[in-house]
Amino acid sequence: MLRSFLYLFGFYWIYEKWLFRQIENKMMPEHIGIIIDGNRRWARSQSFGIKSGYNFGADKVNLLLRWCLELGVKELTIFAFSMENFRRPKHEIDLYMEVLATKLQKALVESMIHQSETKIKAIGRVKRLPGKIKSLLIELENSTKKYNKHYLNIALAYGGHAEIVDAIKTINEKVVTGEINPSQIDEAMIEKHLYTAHLPKSDVDLIIRTSGEERISGFLLWQSANTFFHFIDVFWPQFRKIDLLRAIRTYQNFLHKNSI
């Protein structure tokens, strides 16, 4: 009720413009990670079905990409589906994959992606995803592979532990064949074998998690060693541009305070 009132009088619009003024001339995070949590809980709170929750959530992702591009954020990584999410009931997973397929299909013809020259990549144990999703992802990746102005990573079937296990396995395969000497194993070597190896900057500057949960659930464990965390008590489908601007402002304030 209060919200609609405030919207009507343009308060949010004014606040948004003010927030933007505060952050635009300072250091923008280069790589933002976001854990889009709370789709199902939001749907339940609105008495919607879970599929609606996923649909609204997916639409919000579209908006998020637009906002990040406007702000000049170079890399965006979205935690869309974790390895642990496979433990959910089958019908929920099926609904999720249905929505994901529709959105990926739409992304193929999304002009924003091509105009901004955004390279899209799925990161995770992608082999575990349904066939239809895999082919859509391959199509999407191929259609954007020549881009290098911006990067959008969709973490699907992703696990932070799984990523490190896969990196260590691949490195050791090369040790066995003699391609790598164990003494060469260092930070750069590990990073070359993570799912994020293709990024100019795999380290994340800012991670935002919605829905009030304050944990990282294995998201980008290696890449988030020194990341600034921002937890927000709002379900993902309710996330607004103001929330993103606030998160960036807090990030900038802490940077300023803690610079030696």
Answer for which of 175, 198, 234, 240 binds another protein (CB under 8 A) is: 175
The residues, any chain, with a CB within 8 Å of residue 200's CB and separated by 6 or more, are: 74, 75, 148, 151
Answer for which of 77, 144, 153, 224 binds another protein (CB under 8 A) is: 224
- Integer Cα distance of 219 and 100 in angstroms: 20
Q: Is residue 62 flagged as an active site residue?
A: no
Query: Is the CB of residue 207 less than 8 Å from the CB of residue 29?
Result: no
Q: Is residue 233 flagged as an active site residue?
A: no
- Give the residue among 57, 94, 43 at the shortest CA–CA distance from 239: 57
- Integer Cα distance of 124 and 126 in angstroms: 5
Answer for which of 21, 26, 114, 161 binds another protein (CB under 8 A) is: 161
What DSSP character marks residue 30? S
Strand partners of residue 191: none
Answer for which of 54, 151, 228, 236 binds another protein (CB under 8 A) is: 228
Q: Does 225 bind another protein (CB under 8 A)?
A: yes
Binders in 85-104 for another protein, by CB under 8 A: 85, 87-88
For 214, phi and psi rounded to 5 degrees?
Answer: -120, 70
Q: Does 171 bind another protein (CB under 8 A)?
A: yes
- Integer Cα distance of 47 and 53 in angstroms: 10
Site map (CB under 8 A) of another protein, residues 110-139, x = contact: ------------------------------
For 53, phi and psi rounded to 5 degrees?
Answer: -55, -45
- Integer Cα distance of 71 and 201 in angstroms: 18
Pick between residue 20 and residue 231 the one whose CB is nearest to another protein: 231
Answer for which of 173, 197, 200, 201 binds another protein (CB under 8 A) is: 173
Number of residues that bind another protein (CB under 8 A): 44
Query: Letter for the amino acid at 205?
Result: D
* Sheet arrangement for strand 228-231: 118-123, 150-158, 75-82, 31-35, 206-209, 228-231
Rounded least distance, CB 236 to another protein, Å: 15
Rounded least distance, CB 44 to another protein, Å: 14
Q: Does 260 bind another protein (CB under 8 A)?
A: yes
User: Which residue numbers are catalytic?
Assistant: 37, 85
Binding residues for another protein (CB under 8 A): 82-85, 87-88, 160-162, 164-165, 168-169, 171-173, 175-176, 182, 185-187, 190, 213-218, 221-222, 224-231, 250, 254, 257-258, 260
